[in-house]
Chains A and B, each alone.
Chain A
Amino acid sequence: MALLSIKSVDKLYAGRAGSITVLKKVNLDIRHGELCALMGASGSGKTTLMNLVGLLDRPCHGEIHLDGVPTANVRDDELAALRNRRIGFVFQAFHLLPRLSALDNVALPLLYRGLGKRLRRARAAEALHKVGLADRASHRPDELSGGQRQRVAIARALVGAPTLLLADEPTGNLDSRAADDIMALFLALNRDPGVTILIVTHDPAVAARCPRRIVMRDGRVLDDAGVLPA
């Protein structure tokens, strides 16, 4: 069974000049262990799709199943719990809290799982080790380079052992060498613990390294052959 199953999802935004359809009948399945790039021009709806997949927003029509769990009629608090347990977010702007050390930034998602401080820190140290930043645990974000910050953010996404890692333009703020490192890290994580990863990008170099590329145009997902579904 697919890890993520999106069935004929529509998303409309009500604006002052009538509603705008951002997603039209989107169908998409992502299987366990896949590493996918989600591509498309700006305005093609990939960020909107990402927000829906990340359970930060709800579709107007259609269904999204994550790990076999339907998410349509789930209360707000339960959505937060689902995000906490099953999804790891990586953002273009890192979104690290400046006052916390790298270790505490990584441990933050476990706070909302109700774990004790010692356990949180132990798990966070493991996650930092996985991204190769064990020696930077006590540094604050402003003492780290861009690539290192994004690694901390990836460690934060990994710390809760999610089934799906969502990365929104993870290399957008990085130079090409740091971007290469981050991509290499994603590939390694996909291979070793077998994390399913979905990367939103419009960098062809990033997309080229992903085994599966999903292309969006005008609110629709092209099939893997690059053709609009009928």
Chain B
Amino acid sequence: MTAVGRARLREVVREGAGNLRALGARALLALTGIAVGTAAVIAILHVGHNARAEAMRQFEALGTDLVSLTPRGDNHDVPDLPPEAMRALPARRLGLSEAIPIVSGSASLRIGRASLYTALIAADAALYGFLKAPLVAGRRTSDLDGAAPFVVLGAEVARDAAAAGRPVRIGDPVTVNDQVLTVIGILGPAFRSPLLGVDLNRSAVIPFQAARRVMPDAKITHVAARLAPGADDRATAQRVTDYCRLLLRTGSVDVQTARQLIDGLEKQMRIYALLLIGIGTTSLVVGSVGVMNVMLMSLMERRREIGLRRAIGAHRRDITALFLTEALLLSGLGSLLGTGLGTVAGWMFARASGWPFQPAPLALPLGAGMAATVGLFFGLYPALKAARLDPIAALRAE
């Protein structure tokens, strides 16, 4: 662009801004409409992006090669999976490298004066490594403990108990479902597994054999497994399902892989995003019609000005440029405001959910793109209408 062209552009923009200021409250109203619409779309983008990132973080922390086996009964009769057969699954060359039977339930705990309601998990010692749970005091339950009345407390359980009375120490007695167990260890913060539905932070862990001692129903509720390197998740799931059907007399086993869960989650996110973008777009269209309205009103009020400009030598395209600039400024300003507001809203949502905020990469170009589209699309009609005015009639307008 030449220097004269640049100067000309600057003038057109400045003139448009002046005209908008003259429109006052009406321009502000149209601006608000655009801003709200853009803010909705941008906020949705940010929230969707961050929700997805958070879900992926949870999966990636434990690996995306996790597999969960859940027994399903035909009626209410949940099949009793044989623990030894489950532990032996990796040796069957089905595509699993690790399999840990888990009995999980819930329990009311009494530690000193604190009374808590937590998850109770009976599992082999391998589960700690599987869920990458660190130890902060004492020791973990071991497979050598057999059915011994020992318990390991999750980080939040220990904290809640401490908040109600005194800090939990190794060797303290804990009443679990009217059985007295001894605390032998306390865990540090562990990752939650969305696939297994296990959160060690809010759990009390006992040796696998101790399930029969403490829990009313000691049947296996899950098997936590891991894919062998290079194994295909769908094929493995099918093989494990078939194998378990042979093993069981009634019922079956649901096999779910992390991959499947992530795919499902992404599908769900996409549906949500589409829905919400639909809502945002609707409000954007309402705002855009507002822009068109303001421009048409401005056109009616400025017919004499248009007539004069045409009389003193303005081409039709000069008039188009004048009005289009104003529409673009209006929508651009609105979108800028909306992008800012939407980002703040997304950031606040992420903060409230305890996620680190990552701006969605699409947000900025989409915000700018929407501004340009809205301005061009809804500004062009009034601008062309203004340019087509007959100068004589326009000059005589009241």
Contact = CB atoms under 8 A, between A and B. Distances in A.
A111 interface: yes
B9 interface: no
Interface residues of A, number: 27
B392 interface: yes
A76 interface: yes
B299 interface: no
Contact of B318 (A56, A76, A95, A112): A112
B309 A54 contact: no
Contacts of B310: 56, 80
Contact of A83 (B8, B18, B311, B317): B311
Contact of B313 (A51, A84, A116): A84
A51 B316 contact: no
B312 A108 contact: yes
B312 A56 contact: no
Nearest to A81: B313
Contacts of A116: 4, 7
Interface in A82-110: 83-85, 89, 91, 93, 95, 97, 99, 108-109
B314 A99 contact: no
A57 B19 contact: no
B304 interface: yes
A123 to B, nearest CB: 14
Interface in B282-321: 304-305, 307-318
A18 interface: no
Interface string A143-169: 000000000000010001000000000
Interface residues of B, number: 24
B312 A112 contact: yes
A80 B315 contact: yes
Nearest to A99: B22
B11 A117 contact: yes
Contacts of B395: 91, 95
Contacts of B307: 95
18 contacts: A56-B310, A77-B317, A80-B315, A84-B312, A91-B308, A91-B395, A95-B305, A95-B308, A95-B395, A97-B308, A99-B19, A112-B314, A112-B315, A112-B318, A114-B4, A116-B4, A116-B7, A117-B7
Given A89-B311, A112-B313, 17 more contacts: A56-B310, A56-B311, A57-B392, A76-B316, A77-B315, A77-B316, A80-B315, A83-B313, A91-B395, A95-B304, A99-B18, A109-B313, A112-B312, A112-B318, A114-B8, A116-B4, A117-B11
